[in-house]
């Protein structure tokens, strides 16, 4: 097991080292700070509000504050305005480091790793100088009456210098403006007197306008009250008249309503009585129809029961008849099928027996022919020897040749008939009989003699016929007997007699 672990030790150590590097170098910057990682790459990597990896030893990380900072801008000494009045101005500016990449790059060169207080101290001198320049271009009245324009000019002037440092000015507010001689206070006093005077005149004019308005309002109010009382009296008179008219109309309508109600009551009673009579008649008719319907239902029920019983009986008889017919048909089909199967079986048995007997007969004939062909082949093989003896045979004459042929014929007949000695019983069909079998044996023998004739040039048949003719002429009577050496010693039936007729089997 230790041998299996040893190759994995370097991999484990590398993994541990990578894990340690990741743990030590993992940094996460907050949204108000920029983490600047530099060392391996030409361009520094800036992280703002996200995480990153710092490779220990090879890379370093510096911080840059990006939050909003407040810078107090105060003139340490009096600054003369355009009208040569020395003033002291107290202002507050809101600044931050520009979040753009170029701004962060410039700010990193000037304020890297500094606290917000240190950054504001660095910016304070520059902003104070910009504000002094703007004060020298404005009058005391402009500074006091249009402070928004004054602060905008300060921001516009200071922005050019701040952009070079990567600083963005968010706002600039003038808090207080004072002078050494109290001119601002005197201008305020003059304005106060003027304001009080204008206020007194305005108050007198307002009181007069109020009195006139009050008198006019009272007159108009009196006229309106008189007119309103007149209108009220007229309206009350008209109301009384209208009430009387409405009462008369209401009484007439009430009388008409009472009369109409009585008439309507009578009509309703009449309608109720008529409806009652009609309801009784309808009820009687409905009862009669109901009874008639009940009778009809009972009749239909009886008819349905009778019809159902009749249908059931007819269906039962029909099913029994169909079942009987089906049974007879199946019995007839079964009987016919059995007869057909028996006839087919008998026909197949007869065909099989016939085929077997034909095969036996063909086998026997084929065996005989094959052995005859073998003898013929043997005779042809010995033909060369016979040819050599032919010349010698000539000097013996026809008698010697015939004698030799006659001596060979029994052997030929023996080999042709030998297969028949191994058969116990032969049954022939059609035109097959013993004469055909005997003819096949004689045909085999004749083929041998024809082979002798073709090979030796001796017409055996002619020689035998000539010899027999001579012997018949001399009064001799001989019978040719073919012996079967495979038999029990009994002589085979004669093939022919001296007359040349075939003996019956």
Please say if the pLDDT value at position 455 is more than 80.
Answer: no
The single residue listed with the structure tokens 């391996």 is 40
Specify the pLDDT at position 398: 56
SS (H, E, C) 452-498: HHHHHCCCHHHHHHHHHHHHHHCCCCCCECCCCCCCCCCCCCCCECC
Q: Would you place residue 93 in the very low, low, confident or very high pLDDT band (cuts 50, 70, 90)? A: very high
pTM greater than the 0.85 cutoff: no
> What average pLDDT does the chain have?
76
The single residue listed with the structure tokens 């042709």 is 416
Query: CA nearest 415: which of 471, 385, 383, 373?
Result: 373
Specify the pLDDT at position 505: 34
Please say if the pLDDT value at position 251 is more than 90.
Answer: no
- Residues 79 and 132: their CA atoms lie apart, in Å, by 7
Of 118-127, 192-201, 379-388, give the lowest mean pLDDT range. Answer: 379-388
Please say if the pLDDT value at position 497 is more than 50.
Answer: no
Instruction: Write out pLDDT tens, residues 462-491.
Output: 666 665 555 555 544 444 333 443 333 444
Instruction: Write out pLDDT tens, residues 13-45.
Output: 777 877 776 778 788 889 889 999 888 888 888
The correct CATH number of 68-181 out of 3.30.9.10, 3.30.420.40, 3.30.160.150, 3.30.479.30 is 3.30.479.30
Specify the pLDDT at position 479: 41
Q: Would you place residue 223 in the very low, low, confident or very high pLDDT band (cuts 50, 70, 90)? A: confident
Residue spans per domain, the chain = 2-63, 68-181, 183-346, 382-473
- Residues 158 and 325: their CA atoms lie apart, in Å, by 126
Higher pLDDT, 101 or 453: 101
């Amino acid at each position: 097991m230790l041998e299996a672990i040893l190759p994995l030790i370097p991999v484990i150590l590398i993994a541990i080292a990578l894990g340690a590097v990741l743990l030590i170098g993992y940094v996460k910057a907050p949204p108000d700070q920029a983490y600047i990682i530099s060392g391996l790459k030409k361009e520094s990597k800036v992280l703002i509000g996200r995480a990153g990896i710092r490779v220990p030893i090879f890379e370093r990380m510096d911080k840059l504050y990006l939050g909003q900072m407040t810078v107090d801008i105060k003139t340490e000494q009096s600054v003369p305005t355009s009208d040569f009045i020395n003033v002291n101005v107290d202002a507050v500016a809101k600044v931050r480091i520009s979040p753009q990449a170029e701004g962060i790059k410039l700010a990193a060169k000037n304020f890297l790793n500094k606290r917000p207080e240190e950054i504001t101290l660095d910016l304070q001198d520059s902003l104070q100088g910009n504000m002094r320049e703007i004060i020298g271009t404005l009058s005391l009245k402009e500074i006091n009456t249009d402070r928004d324009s004054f602060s905008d000019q300060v921001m516009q002037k200071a922005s050019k210098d701040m952009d070079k440092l990567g600083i963005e000015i968010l706002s600039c507010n003038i808090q207080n403006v004072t002078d050494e001689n109290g001119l601002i206070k005197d201008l305020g006093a003059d304005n106060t007197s003027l304001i009080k005077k204008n206020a007194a005149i305005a108050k007198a004019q307002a009181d007069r306008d109020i009195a006139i308005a009050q008198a006019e309002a009272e007159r108009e109010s009196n006229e309106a009250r008189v007119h309103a009382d007149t209108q009220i009296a007229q309206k009350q008179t008209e109301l009384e008249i209208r009430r009387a008219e409405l009462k008369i109309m209401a009484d007439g309508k009430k009388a008409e309503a009472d009369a109409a109600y009585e008439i309507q009551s009578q009509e309703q009673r009449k309608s109720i009585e008529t409806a009652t009579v009609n309801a009784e008649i309808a009820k009687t008719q409905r009862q009669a129809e109901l009874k008639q319907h009940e009778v009809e239902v009972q009749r239909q029920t009886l008819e349905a029961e009778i019809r159902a019983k009749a249908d059931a009986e007819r269906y039962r008889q029909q099913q029994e008849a169909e079942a009987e017919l089906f049974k007879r048909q199946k019995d007839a089909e079964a009987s016919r099928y059995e007869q057909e199967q028996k006839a087919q079986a008998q026909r197949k048995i007869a065909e099989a027996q016939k085929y077997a007997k034909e095969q036996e007969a063909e086998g026997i004939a084929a065996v005989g022919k094959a052995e005859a062909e073998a003898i013929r082949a043997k005779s042809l093989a010995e033909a060369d020897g016979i040819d050599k003896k032919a010349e010698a045979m000539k000097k013996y004459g026809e008698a010697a040749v015939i004698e030799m042929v006659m001596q060979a014929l029994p052997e030929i007949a023996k080999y042709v008939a030998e297969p028949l000695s191994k058969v116990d019983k032969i049954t022939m069909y059609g035109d097959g009989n013993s004469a055909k079998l005997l003819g096949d044996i004689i045909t085999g023998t004749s083929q041998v003699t024809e082979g002798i004739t073709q090979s030796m040039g001796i017409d055996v048949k002619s020689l035998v016929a000539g010899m027999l003719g001579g012997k018949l002429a001399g009064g001799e009577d001989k019978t040719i007997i073919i012996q079967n050496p495979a038999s029990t010693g009994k002589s085979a039936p004669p093939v022919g007699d001296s007359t040349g007729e075939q003996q019956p089997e």
